[in-house]
Structure 1
């Protein structure tokens, strides 16, 4: 049964007008988010992940030119004035930012920052009630002795505790969509696992939808239901987590998977993607990944590939999927994943 679509992004473009020229940060991005699911958006730094999600929150910079449709509850968020965002931002759509130390006000007590969204969206809320809400949220995100630490300041807390506080702030108004912008980047592996487990538990309790931004495919495997792979401002592959991990079709996805260690990885076998991402001020003709793609065809340097359908839930923008394309043998580790995919499909029958 198909889940209800809660957010639909159609033909989204974001350009930044700078003295150096026009930066094409987001180029024709399309995706939908279903109720209660986690959609992971992955890619290298500079691929457009954070720009796309900040646009969903109406947080684009003043020099940004945003075009396209962001459809949420019958409204196009891209047409809203700033005043129209007040009942939405932090209330219906909330965001967990990447660095908790810069997200928290060093001069304000922790409980006050956690309670602030509730105070903003409920003018009749008393401060003692807000304090109790903050303590409850602190306990909900696993902060021990919450009442005793409610009056602490951010510098008194560890990185993991601060990240939990930022999650509590995002949850204060019980949002329907939670956007997590690399929330575990600055944390060690043990705390990272705790935070990811916490987010999954909260999602089960609240039935919220999560957009999870990361460059770490290892995190995606245990967190996401669906995955969108971004490169140079475009989504180049999207599908279920199993489809992207075990039946990847785009050479860029192959490169990302090849650089990710697994329990089967042999010493010295990790592979780096050659070259560097393109300059978004001067994008090359054709496929932006062509210069780094050892499997690139002549047409990749001339024409941008469309999204080819692999299955009802899996699409990839690669000319290798065109029926006229020559047969290409992917790397051994991708062939191994394809074999695992066949076995998964066999078991599902």
Structure 2
């Protein structure tokens, strides 16, 4: 494991057993998170983003879920081998998570202040008075007004944006080394979104925290991320820096994502270009490239063999048969932001 990497996920496979069979939700995912950087994981709903993050936190319910194989190396320690008792010492203290829906993630029977002090007392061994003072500081840090009085209120007293800020305060209270933010701005208006993203960036700099940002909002990615991993049907199909993914994408699925982003410079006659078709059934995943059934550039080999990952540059990699020397030349569409070329 590289000393620069805080986290390395290697060939991760996660499945869920259902009445209809085994759903292969994550199928050989690989990525790294360096110290102090933000990695965005993007893709359609159901592509495996949240399952991957829950696997890192050790929150996959077993059964019906199961990590079938692979490694999750956090500072060189394989979290897949940790017991529940060992993971309890990691969660909150070293790795924290902002969940997708704060209303269902916050405990409605506990005050917001108590939900922050609980972790401080457990992981940092603070006394009640000291933990309360620290909790007030965290609420103030995430921009909640009158934090002293808000400490004694319950989640239903908070607005949606304030609940999300409270979740961030809980997650960052113990200064974790890694923060996983699963759709942290879902269902929030754009003004509150911007405030929360700015706050996360500020806290990242202040606390030197690495972030995994899970989202389908490419605008959020452009504002906050350093590197991007594009997931489709349980696999990472392309990775690169934000500039590489937005200006020089190489995978047809990434082209499709970029083409479906609303843009102000489109004329009234131009419309968004949705990706035709539907994702594959992960009860019976395809043998070849998972995007082959929806790809206008698909060749015969795409449907029978999964392409190997090709290194485009130091950080930029993609899994696509179009990168093979014997593949036909293809000019990518230029509707996506940046308008770069292959």
TM-score (norm 1): 0.94
Deviation at 1:328, TM superposition (A): 1.2
Q: Which runs of 5+ in 2 are unaligned?
A: none
Q: Which residue of 2 aligns with 1:57?
A: 57
Distance 1:334 1:144 in 2: 40
Assess, with a 3 A threshold, how the Cα gap between structure 1 residues 336 and 8 changes in structure 2: closer, same or farther: closer
Assess, with a 3 A threshold, how the Cα gap between structure 1 residues 136 and 102 changes in structure 2: closer, same or farther: same
Distance 2:199 2:124 in 1: 26
Distance 2:250 2:231 in 1: 14
Q: Which residue of 1 aligns with 2:184?
A: 183
Q: Which residue of 2 aligns with 1:274?
A: 276
The answer to whether the 8 Å contact 1:200/1:223 transfers is yes
Q: Which residue of 2 aligns with 1:303?
A: 305
Q: Which residue of 2 aligns with 1:158?
A: 159
Residues 150-198 of structure 1: CA deviation (Å, up to 9, x unaligned): 1011111100000000000001111000000001012111100100000
Deviation at 1:139, TM superposition (A): 0.3
Deviation at 1:34, TM superposition (A): 0.3
Q: Which residue of 1 aligns with 2:42?
A: 42
Other structure's SS at 2:340 match: helix
Distance 1:159 1:300 in 2: 44
Q: Which residue of 2 aligns with 1:31?
A: 31
Distance 2:45 2:37 in 1: 24
Residues 263-322 of structure 1: CA deviation (Å, up to 9, x unaligned): 323333311000111111011231111111111111111111111111111001110111
In the alignment of these two chains, the number of paired residues is 338
Q: Which residue of 2 aligns with 1:347?
A: none
Distance 2:197 2:303 in 1: 40
Assess, with a 3 A threshold, how the Cα gap between structure 1 residues 23 and 229 changes in structure 2: closer, same or farther: same
Residues 229-288 of structure 1: CA deviation (Å, up to 9, x unaligned): 000000000000000000000000000000102332333331100011111101123111
Q: Which residue of 2 aligns with 1:232?
A: 233
Q: Which residue of 2 aligns with 1:140?
A: 141
Deviation at 1:138, TM superposition (A): 0.2
Q: Which runs of 5+ in 1 are unaligned?
A: 342-349
Other structure's SS at 1:50 match: helix
Distance 1:335 1:222 in 2: 13
Distance 2:208 2:187 in 1: 27
The answer to whether the 8 Å contact 1:3/1:35 transfers is no
The answer to whether the 8 Å contact 2:246/2:336 transfers is no
Q: Which residue of 1 aligns with 2:266?
A: 265
Q: Map residues 100-139 of structure 1 onto 2, 5 A cutoff.
A: 100-123=102-125, 125-139=126-140
Other structure's SS at 1:311 match: coil
Distance 1:335 1:299 in 2: 30
Runs of 4+ deviating beyond 6 Å:
none
Q: Which residue of 2 aligns with 1:254?
A: 255
Distance 1:151 1:251 in 2: 51
Distance 1:266 1:277 in 2: 30
Residues 100-156 of structure 1: CA deviation (Å, up to 9, x unaligned): 100111111110011121122134x22222211110100010111111221011111
Other structure's SS at 1:269 match: coil
Q: Which residue of 2 aligns with 1:149?
A: 150
